Structure 1
């Protein structure tokens, strides 16, 4: 497993690289957002650890640009500790958000959990209408067209497809996909659904993701 760390603080960056190497990971380190984004695009990584306050491009910008092209799992590791910052990170497509100062043991546990989630062990292929989802290969197609999803988008679609025909509440979705208690003041689930619809439904005539008023969302051929 190879991890990319984008961290401009010299001591923190060196500490992360040394600790992750000792934990058995291959590690590349970028000191600014521009170099880090270039490395993330040009090389293959299993996970990205990303700071927010970076020179060149900040972490928000890096996150946005990465999500336009790939599904690389991302953990924000930052001193930005406001709830709004955490929500923004998740809305941009991050898989986790850890506040500095941090426990290195906790970081490693979160990395292991996230990487395990990326290895979906189900062999069953799901199909509804012209959409096919292959959990083992992490592949999604509609009408034969390959659809690229982020890690969270794939987890969200996988949940919806497995429980197709069920109206899933935002609370259930948040707990299953983000391991978080749903707060009615946040719109993380709604934003994620909107992004998933843009990829899964918008380019196609038949819509499969439906809003169930006062409850949440349903994956079904029927509205």
Structure 2
């Protein structure tokens, strides 16, 4: 299930948002400012950020810029300000959606769901890109009906990347989420598995490919995205 990051210095707002997000089955981390939000993002992969503009330490504008510099994660801003210039600035910095306090929590949930769908964050066991299906139930990939069998770890890597197209994953994040926190093996394991994945997919699908983001990690690209 999707992981939601909530950053707001108002404890009551955080509690309200967390309550409604958890009712939908989402995993939620809540923090009081932008700096704490970045600490969470450094430790855990998050799928969507709900952030307030006016926060101490690091405000929503700076946090939005930091998030955008790290990848293509959906961002929804919550603020007490409703002026048009604030909305414009938010969108220029990369905000995907914008709600003004006081807000209807049910509407917020619907907006979060819409953003997750737009970004194609995986909430099921199948991820589809054109004629390519990554099937988490069968641990296989199918291209126009042809089955491509992958070793388990390679498949888990592809399914993880495919669930968040365009999102950058660091090597450390992939090691933690695929091999586990107690993994003590070869530190270039991710690179080796990515290389093998590319070789297996080359010439068999044009719908997806894995890109290297120099100095950061890897992300899955999809045709037409």
Tell me how many residue pairs correspond in the alignment: 144
Moved >4 Å (runs of 4+):
none
What is the match of residue 92 of structure 2? 91
Higher relative contact order (CA 8 A, sep 6+): 2
Aligned partners of 2:18 and 2:30 also within 8 Å: yes
Aligned partners of 1:121 and 1:136 also within 8 Å: no
Q: 1:71 to 1:137 in 2, by over 3 A?
A: closer
- Structure 1 distance, partners of 2:117, 2:74, is 11
Q: 1:137 to 1:71 in 2, by over 3 A?
A: closer
1:68-87 map, 5 Å: 68-87=69-88
CA shift, 1:138, in A, is: 2.8
What is the match of residue 51 of structure 1? 52
What is the match of residue 23 of structure 1? 24
Structure 1 length-normalised TM: 0.56
- Structure 1 distance, partners of 2:67, 2:12, is 25
3-state DSSP of counterpart to 1:68: helix
3-state DSSP of counterpart to 1:20: helix
CA shift, 1:10, in A, is: 1.1
What is the match of residue 100 of structure 1? 101
Q: How large is the Cα RMSD of the aligned pairs?
A: 3.1
1:124-203 map, 5 Å: 138=165, 146=212, 158=224
What is the match of residue 123 of structure 1? 130
CA shift, 1:6, in A, is: 0.2
Structure 2 length-normalised TM: 0.56
CA shift, 1:124, in A, is: 5.2
3-state DSSP of counterpart to 2:16: helix
Q: 1:100 to 1:158 in 2, by over 3 A?
A: farther
- Structure 2 distance, partners of 1:84, 1:109, is 25
CA shift, 1:106, in A, is: 0.7
Aligned partners of 2:119 and 2:164 also within 8 Å: no
Aligned partners of 1:67 and 1:93 also within 8 Å: yes
Unaligned runs of 5+ in 1: 126-134, 149-153, 160-223
3-state DSSP of counterpart to 2:81: coil
- Structure 1 distance, partners of 2:211, 2:12, is 45
Aligned partners of 2:5 and 2:29 also within 8 Å: yes
